Amino acid sequence: MLAAVLTDFNRLELQELPVPQLGMNEVAVRIRACGICATDYKAIKGIRTNVTFPFIAGHEAAGPIEAVKLMVELRRRGTRWNVFGITMHETFELDGGLTHYLEGRMDASFGTTPLAMLKAIRLMERGLVNPEAIITHRFALADIHEAIRVMGQKERNKVIINP
């Protein structure tokens, strides 16, 4: 699989990596797009120094809904799971009783509360917020260096990488 690997600060290389071997209760998601956030940018530029090399940036990944279904099926008691960035143009059923029994929590991002996420989803459902509107730039993975350059500009909002 092709990945943008940070080998040192300001040294981002496209590398062909082996597909990870999965262990029990692990799932692989085929990434269709990935956002570059300020945290990633700061790690790449050396502003954020708590990075272990090699480092593959990109925690705002989006993948097919089948990955979400499998993730739901693999939940265990006390699991916190994150669906931030997962493409949601399709639907899947979630057993609320089972989720409650498992004491599971579904988050949308690191600092988002369930109430805030519910409000955001309702705004999107009503057409009052268009999440696509915040994407200002899209790049192919092969153009990762240009994407990082754009991240350093004030005129950008969200930069998306598509493999």
Distance in angstroms (rounded) separating the CA atoms of residues 118 and 103 = 18
The radius of gyration of the chain's CA atoms, rounded to the nearest angstrom, is 17
Pairing type for strands 11-16 and 2-8 reads antiparallel
Q: Please name the amino acid found at residue 99.
A: T
Beta bridge partners of 91: none
**Mean pLDDT (whole number) for 38-60:** 88
Pairing type for strands 60-62 and 33-36 reads antiparallel
**Size of the chain, expressed as the number of residues it contains:** 163
Strands (E), 11-141: 11-16, 33-36, 55-56, 60-62, 80-82, 105-107, 135-140
Domains and their CATH numbers in the chain: 2-162 (3.90.180.10)
Q: Are 108 and 83 in contact (CB under 8 A)?
A: yes
**Mean pLDDT (whole number) for 122-149:** 85
**Mean pLDDT (whole number) for 2-28:** 84
**Mean pLDDT (whole number) for 100-121:** 61
Report pLDDT for 143: 93
Report pLDDT for 7: 95
Mean residue pLDDT across the chain:
75
Query: For the whole model, what pTM was predicted?
Result: 0.60
Is the pLDDT confidence value at 97 over 80?
no
Report pLDDT for 146: 92
**Which H or E element spans position 2?**
strand 2-8
Percent of the chain clearing pLDDT 90 (strictly above): 16
